[in-house]
Structure 1
């Protein structure tokens, strides 16, 4: 494996997740306790809830359960703390607001004072997708004049850079459900290229409208029972959720010199596309295999070094078997004596957070490494029969269990796949930590 000197490391992180979770400790506790953080549709967003719940009465539509992984604090924001006027704050896509406060907390977690960064050569890379917030810009409203920046996707990252005074590269990327891992990859690439001294990377999803529920109900790809059953035999589809996560990336020499904690080393990340062939939303086994193998090669480790795979695991009858086939070909084709990776998905706890899905899985991975435990993935009592589990060494993480390090390091992998055909994969090395105050 390549030298750890000046590896890119993650030295700070923060999260917001369904169930009122806005701290790392609360997030880990919920995951370690196998809690499902799903709730009913929010009634304070002016959504047509009754229409949603009756869609199945229309021919060609599937049932929509009164369920999802919603952020309870999505409507809460302290504009004056960030120097933003109340009227502008209301005009801002809530994804900008949530991303800004989570980025602030990630910096504090790293031991960096967010108020002393004006002029810092730091980048900001965020994954996000358009989620239909607010009235149309082509209308006369009391918020006219703020809609250009309030609804711009680029302002998710731009707002963070502007508020903190960061002068490095700042961009929002939309590769659908692969967005946040793509943002992580771009941030790491910028650091390696010397484009910035350090960077923030992550993703956010706050649904301004229930459009995703309508779309997947029409495509019969939505969970009809209100649960995201990743890799389960009784999965009926995905369940939409919300969330946000941001990590601080820097070279390890810098982190050590500044006394920052090292949660993990980003050994490698890669992004590719399915190419042509199947419909654009259908995953490709060959593309995923190629991606995983390239990432492993760049990381300089073997498949049997990986102890935990945080998979995409949407719970769809089409996507999960294809993903499992790819994982089984690479991570499952090892000697069970030397390696047997556990597989799970945080979506089984919080639902599918779309553009933020990958970063939530990555933070789950880092917390598992810090605590030395592999948490259970929910709904594993009946794994899908679409693959031959006897022919692969990979196993669903069915219970909280110790995660034994190898030479004081735990290795893990995270996957995300987007509906437009983009795939992202990252491999992490997590040193044994003594300070677990996260």
Structure 2
């Protein structure tokens, strides 16, 4: 298992302007800038600095996660956000979170900021035990393991801006060493006080223009951003055996440090090249086989030339003049997410190889005069660029920490799923049942709305697959509805009725019952045979039946 590829089977994220992976891809593809002014709910004066902010970071459904109001008040919103995104990630993977209880699933979280602790600790009258657990970075990972009842490794990692990609690298090692069978990996970053921004600004790291102008001649520093992202990982052989949807495959990774450079926070090109070549060697691929590189790309006067030279020395070498390697950086659109920057870049790379398209890099108007643009073997697309429609695609992802820790990961497009066996699909005219559940009636209606949006955005998804994922891959919560439909239009109408809370013959609703009722596995009418072949469709379409 030492070099087995690892499948990305689930993605969850909350990034500026993008509350989920689908909206993240739309933001990237459309070339939208999500950097803006600080929301009104932030503590202290932001000094007018723009940033890549999330909305409503203090909102949290504490009852859903079984956390008291008092504990929630002391709990870092970074921990709250991780719980929400973890749930989203497991559901995207088609895994009912409750089914993971007691498994050796590992948790690997990159986290560096501690703004919420800085807000609490100067006030002894409000500090209590929950302040300790609510702000300990170790608990950012431990709380996920506790809530989902996961018994595998549980680590919080801080390597500054490379924290979340370091977490992914560590998860890959743990999976390949057999410490865990499934892993949840990524990172989080929130900006809740102005203190760190002031320190970074006085250190000359933040750009006066409030944008990351990566590889531009006007690059003068980065703009801070916040968010959270997680991926659910499983060895590829296990993912294929389990019938999981595979977004992409991680084939190699490497981690290293710059050693004694020109300064503690100064980048070192030789160290960057070392992790790139190390990841390529572990993946068993040549630099020329890489179709896209997601650069660290902060847009600093010193960092950009050093990274460009390192990229050219690895990925640009030997490239034909008419086929340079495309390079981009998501920081130009959402800001530098610091501890969550690496996972934002990794998820982007996964989407690039899955969608077979490179999104545009923003804010590049005048190419940096200190970069070799003609002989580097690299190119920076400022408009959408299609990648080959067939064959395996590969991408490299870099993330560098200002403490010197560098990480690089190789991403590969997913293998073709096996063709379904002849006659294994549901026959034409089959009525499908879609089971939905949520913690409240309002949340149930919201979930139905998300399914309507998903249906409209993915017209090619078979109803049988959609219903199976919902029925088998989500935990059953207290407010439930079952919708029946033979066509997409019928399902859309049923979802609309559920949203409007209107009666409909194809929508059955249910809420919490008094007492504890057993779970229903099968329900038989007790009337015996009603017509010849009554159970034939169930027999043909459902092996369990």
Shared fold (TM-score, shorter chain, > 0.5): yes
1:109 to 92, 101, 115: 92
SS at match of 1:13: strand
Tell me what 1:170 maps to: 154
Question: Is 1:137–1:148's contact at 8 Å kept on the other side of the alignment?
Answer: no
> 2:320, 2:349 → 1: CA distance?
22
Q: Given that residues 375 and 401 in structure 1 are in contact (C-alpha distance below 8 angstroms), is that contact kept between their aligned partners in structure 2?
A: yes
Greater alpha carbon shift after TM alignment, 250-259 vs 25-34: 250-259
1:231-272, CA deviations, whole angstroms, 9 ceiling, x for partnerless residues? 111111100000111001111121112221111111101110
Q: Deviations over 1:107-161 (max 9, x none)?
A: 1000000122211110000100033214444743345121111110111111111
Change (3 A) 1:338 1:169: farther
| Paired position in structure 2 for 1:11 | 9
- State the partner residue of 1:365: 349
Higher Rg? 2
Tell me if structure 2 keeps the 8 A contact 1:75–1:94: yes
| Structure 1 stretches of at least 4 aligned residues deviating more than 6 Å after TM superposition | 432-438
In structure 1, what is the Cα distance between the partners aligned to 2:21 and 2:367?
Answer: 29
Whole-angstrom CA distance in 1 between matches of 2:309 and 2:148: 44
User: Is 2:20 aligned against 1:23?
Assistant: yes
Is structure 2 residue 45 aligned with structure 1 residue 48?
yes
For residue 280 of structure 1, the aligned residue among 259, 264, 273 is: 264
User: Among residues 409, 414, 436, which one is paired with 2:397 in the alignment?
Assistant: 414
Q: Deviations over 1:16-47 (max 9, x none)?
A: 0112x211111100100000001102321221
Does structure 2 retain, via aligned residues, the 8 Å contact 1:370–1:432? no
- The Cα shift of 1:209 comes to 1.5
5+ residue gaps, structure 1, are 54-65
Residue 34 (structure 1) aligned to one of 31, 35, 41: 31
Q: Secondary structure at the match of 2:64?
A: helix
User: Contact 1:304–1:340 (CA<8 Å) still a contact in 2?
Assistant: no
Q: Structure 1 residues 224 and 334 mapped into 2: Cα distance closer, same or farther (>3 Å)? A: same
Instruction: Specify the alignment match of 2:291 in structure 1.
Output: 307
Query: Using the alignment, how far apart are the partners of 2:34 and 2:365 within structure 1?
Result: 19
Following superposition, the deviation at residue 432 of structure 1 comes to 6.5
- Corresponding residue for residue 109 of structure 2: 126
1:405/1:432 contact within 8 Å kept: no
Separation of aligned partners in 2, 1:112 and 1:130: 30
TM-score (norm 2): 0.74
Q: Which sits farther off after the overlay, 176-185 or 371-380?
A: 371-380
Mapping 1:39-438, distance limit 5 Å: 39-49=36-46, 52-53=47-48, 66-134=49-117, 135-137=119-121, 139-336=123-320, 339-404=323-388, 408-431=391-414
More deviation, 160-169/215-224: 215-224
- Measure the CA separation in 2 of the matches of 1:34 and 1:411: 22
Would the alpha carbon gap of residues 295 and 137 (structure 1) be closer, same or farther in structure 2, given more than 3 Å must change? same
Displacement after TM superposition at 1:215 (Å):
1.4
CA spacing shift, 1:37–1:333, aligned 2, 3 Å: same
Secondary structure of 2:216's partner? coil
Q: Could you give the per-residue CA deviations for residues 328-363 of structure 1, whole angstroms, max 9, x where no partner exists?
A: 111111221685210000000100000000100111
Question: Residue 306 of structure 1 contacts residue 339 of structure 1 at CA under 8 Å; is this kept in 2?
Answer: no
In 1, Cα distance between the equivalents of 2:258 and 2:210? 29
Query: Hey, what's the Cα distance between the residues in 2 that align with 1:101 and 1:150?
Result: 16
* More off after superposition, 40-49 vs 262-271: 40-49
Structure number with higher relative contact order (C-alpha < 8 Å, ≥ 6 residues apart): 1
Tell me how many residue pairs correspond in the alignment.
420
